[in-house]
Chain A
Amino acid sequence: PMPQRSQSTTALQALNLFNSPFVIERADVIAKRIEGQTAGNPADQVEQMFELVLGRPPEQTERSAAMDVIQQHGLSVLSRVLLNSNEFLFLP
């Protein structure tokens, strides 16, 4: 009935993974790599980013939300998000 040690996560871990310069830098590197492979087509970028980080294509809702985000805020926002996603960090 209670979480075991291994299941527990803390706000400090979340802050580290979301904000630390290391993770931000890695997200930039991934974004640059995808940009280098895709000649500026946002749909391709979203597709390849999901394939690279999560090993699957995006779902429809994910695709459209991600397209909006990268067009407004740049591709490294998407790589930062995927590195922080539960799917990337856990095997349920």
Chain B
Amino acid sequence: MLNRRNFLEQTVTGLSSIALTSLLNQESLLAATRPVIDPAQPHAPRQSPFRGAAKNVLVIFCAGACSQLETYDFKPELIKHDGQPLKDGPAVTFQGPSGNLARPQYEFRPRGESGKMVSDMIPHMAELVDDISFIHSLTSKSNTHGPAENYLSTGFVLDGFPSMGAWVTYALGTENQNLPAFVAIPDPRGVPQASVNNWGPGFLPAVFQGTPFSSTQPIQNLTAPETVSLNQDLAARELLQLINREHLQRNPGDSELAARIASYELAARMQLSVPEISDLSTESSTTLKMYGADSNNADKAAFARNCILSRRLIEQGVRFVQIFNGAYASGGKLNWDGHQKLKEQYDVHGEIMDQPVAALFKDLKQRGLLEETLVVWCTEFGRMPMFQKGAQGRDHNPQGFTAWLGGAGIKPGVSYGATDELGFKAVENVSSVHDLHATMLHLLGLDHTQLTFRHNGLERRLTDVHGHVIKEVLA
């Protein structure tokens, strides 16, 4: 009989069971889009949930905060107001008291067919403008290098979260089973401030961590010490395989043991594949010259070789390559952190970055690799339109900075978002690093809200609980 009490009871139960069903459905939906990983083949290529434009990613990460005002964010008003104080500006910024507004330290001129204004610091990279799209309104959650690098590489300012490359290889595996799925290439001058966090696995399975090496720094322990002969090495490998396989037979179905055998097998293949991919002697002199690998400037030549290495890795089907331009915090000496003598230091850094990065992009394009490779140029934050008091350099500015994207799935020639007329703050289509990440995952066929890993009771994401795909830059 339906009285008021029963009615209420049934309705409430009914509603909560609807809610429960809906929750369960969501759970199974989530589970369905989580990558299913065979522990014996953790890097096997996996299909993305929907068709993405890009297969591979190349991130060019400028450590130290490369100034938007000396590269791509042209501010004629800043020239007009050179030497004046910033009205209602902060008295103190990250490192100390503010000085007066300072004009861009390089001339800007229109480039390519689009006429995009780019500074004379990077004349070679300026030639790319018709092929790439800019986000001029990025913002960071931190004004400190380490946390801001964490944020850009992992989506969180704290340590301990998986890097972009780890998320992507967790989702998609990799095409080439002889090389690492994710390679990080530190600058020849040193590692970035947040160091291994930039390519760490966080709480994802460690197998998805980036493997760091470069043209100047080979993989550690890639080969045995010279006291061990080649024949001893081969004999050891063979015997180890026999003993591990027998052990696996006695302990069938243990995925951990199979995974470890797989890691030894990849290590063995890397002993052959990594020296081969790092050997640039097969590159033509035209190529070496195009990148600037023949430069008398040792840092530039070494960075150019890292750029060639990046192309070779992408060419061989490595899923995610993150190459760094700039090292750790060093008063702007070894990276883009131009606090004191910005122009003097940027003359040095610009020379190292410009030609090699431009050549890398053009080389990917001429080999047809851009059709399936997404290229992202980025930096952890921007710099202030004022100089610091008593200095010739700019302080940290997380409120508005520039990144660019090119290649697979990108609509070229777009300038999305803007900072104010002095380049102090993003004011139009203000974007976060989460938005950049969401866009990158989207281009790989991954929904940033669905790519999750359960950790400490939470379905963790690269984008935390944020992020919107920036559709305006998509082809």
Listed in ascending order, the chain A residues whose CB lies under 8 Å from chain B are 1-5, 7-16, 18-21, 24, 59, 61-62, 65-66, 69, 72-74, 77-78, 80-82, 84-87, 89-90, 92
Contact = CB atoms under 8 A, between A and B. Distances in A.
A12 B239 contact: no
A7 B244 contact: no
A8 B42 contact: yes
Nearest to A50: B243
Contact of B239 (A13, A66, A74, A89): A66
Interface in B182-232: 201, 203-209, 211, 219-225, 227-229, 231-232
Contact of B243 (A14, A77, A85): A85
B81 interface: no
B255 A7 contact: yes
Contacts of A87: 243-244, 247
A46 to B, nearest CB: 11
Contacts of A1: 36-37
Nearest to A22: B221
Contacts of A59: 246
18 contacts: A3-B39, A3-B205, A4-B205, A8-B207, A9-B260, A10-B207, A10-B209, A15-B220, A15-B221, A18-B236, A18-B264, A20-B220, A24-B224, A59-B246, A66-B239, A72-B231, A81-B243, A90-B257
A11 B263 contact: yes
A34 B278 CA distance: 40
A20 B36 contact: no
B261 A15 contact: no
Interface residues of B, number: 52
* 4 closest residue pairs by CB, A with B: A8-B205, A14-B267, A19-B221, A8-B206
Choose among A2, A13, A16, A72 the residue with the greatest number of B CB atoms under 10 Å from its CB. A2
B457 to A, nearest CB: 14
Given A15-B219, A15-B270, A73-B231, 6 more contacts: A9-B206, A13-B263, A16-B220, A61-B246, A77-B236, A78-B239
Interface string B229-268: 1011001100110111011100100111101110110110
Contact of A86 (B231, B236, B257, B266): B257
Contacts of B261: 86
Contact of A15 (B203, B222, B227, B257): B222
Contact of A65 (B208, B225, B239): B239
Contacts of B256: 3, 7, 90, 92
Contacts of A72: 231, 235
